[in-house]
Chains A and B, each alone.
Chain A
């Protein structure tokens, strides 16, 4: 079965540089989530999109922005990178349920992008 694709898998940047992370959700999934997982920590929610509109926002720095495109892929743009931004960034996707209860709320995670800021 198709899974969530994230690119690049590894990224090394210098302080104050810019990074762009990409996420391609599972086909027919209309919701994308971004999470940040620091070393030894649990994933923290950053932002989500449903049908190309921002649906929820967590503890995402103002230096970060994201969007979901017409083909449902999403990009997380990170500017003025800081050492503390070094982390594993996950994208997850899900399919919003229809009128009744379904089992499609489950979020499926991509392999993550490991960002290292030097």
Chain B
């Protein structure tokens, strides 16, 4: 079974600074997807970024980028120029790409606090 581990229960960053959230996963598959979702106090699950395992290039979305290390099964999220609105719970998630309709397995989450 696939597992996702986020070893940082809480992280904090100063506004305008950079922070990196860690995620590791375990799978025997070679074809899969990885995601970072943000859950603010409203509890809405918001997609931040996605990475296909078959792509070597790290995904980027504006201030958000990932460091995908397939051999190490590591998938970290870097947030640059942190903003107060980035404060939220961040979940790393794994989706098996072998079928068209793979469920997501989530990590335990990391609470990010942004200090003004």
A105 in contact with B109 given A56-B103, A111-B44 (CB within 8 Å):
no
| Secondary structure type dominating chain A contacts | strand
Q: Per-residue CB proximity of A9-52 to B under 8 Å, as 1/0? A: 00000000000000000000001010101000011110010100
Residues of A within 8 A of B97 (CB): 105
| Whole-angstrom CA separation of A58 from B52 in the bound complex | 23
Question: Is B28 close to A, CB under 8 A?
Answer: no
Question: Min CB distance, A103 to chain B, in Å?
Answer: 8
Residues of A within 8 A of B103 (CB): 33, 45, 48, 56, 58
- Evaluate contact between A105 and B47: CB separation under 8 angstroms: no
| Whole-angstrom CA separation of A18 from B53 in the bound complex | 41
Residues of B within 8 A of A94 (CB): 101
Question: Is A72 close to B, CB under 8 A?
Answer: no
In the complex, the chain B residue whose C-beta lies closest to that of A53 is B101
Residues of A within 8 A of B95 (CB): 105, 107
- Evaluate contact between A55 and B52: CB separation under 8 angstroms: no
Q: Find residues 67-97 in chain A having any chain B CB closer than 8 Å to their own CB.
A: 88, 90, 92, 94, 96-97
> Interface residue tally of chain B, by bracket?
20 to 34
Question: Min CB distance, A58 to chain B, in Å?
Answer: 6
- Evaluate contact between B47 and A106: CB separation under 8 angstroms: yes
Question: Min CB distance, B111 to chain A, in Å?
Answer: 10
Question: Min CB distance, B29 to chain A, in Å?
Answer: 14
Question: Is B104 close to A, CB under 8 A?
Answer: yes
A31 in contact with B100 given A42-B108, A101-B52, A106-B35 (CB within 8 Å):
yes
- Evaluate contact between A105 and B100: CB separation under 8 angstroms: yes
* Across the A-B interface, the 9 shortest Cβ-Cβ residue pairs: A96-B100, A109-B45, A42-B106, A45-B103, A50-B101, A55-B101, A31-B101, A43-B106, A56-B103
Q: List 26 A-B contacts (CB under 8 A).
A: A31-B100, A33-B101, A33-B103, A33-B104, A37-B43, A42-B108, A42-B109, A43-B104, A43-B106, A44-B106, A45-B103, A56-B99, A56-B103, A58-B103, A92-B45, A101-B54, A103-B50, A105-B97, A106-B35, A106-B47, A106-B50, A107-B104, A109-B45, A112-B43, A112-B44, A114-B43
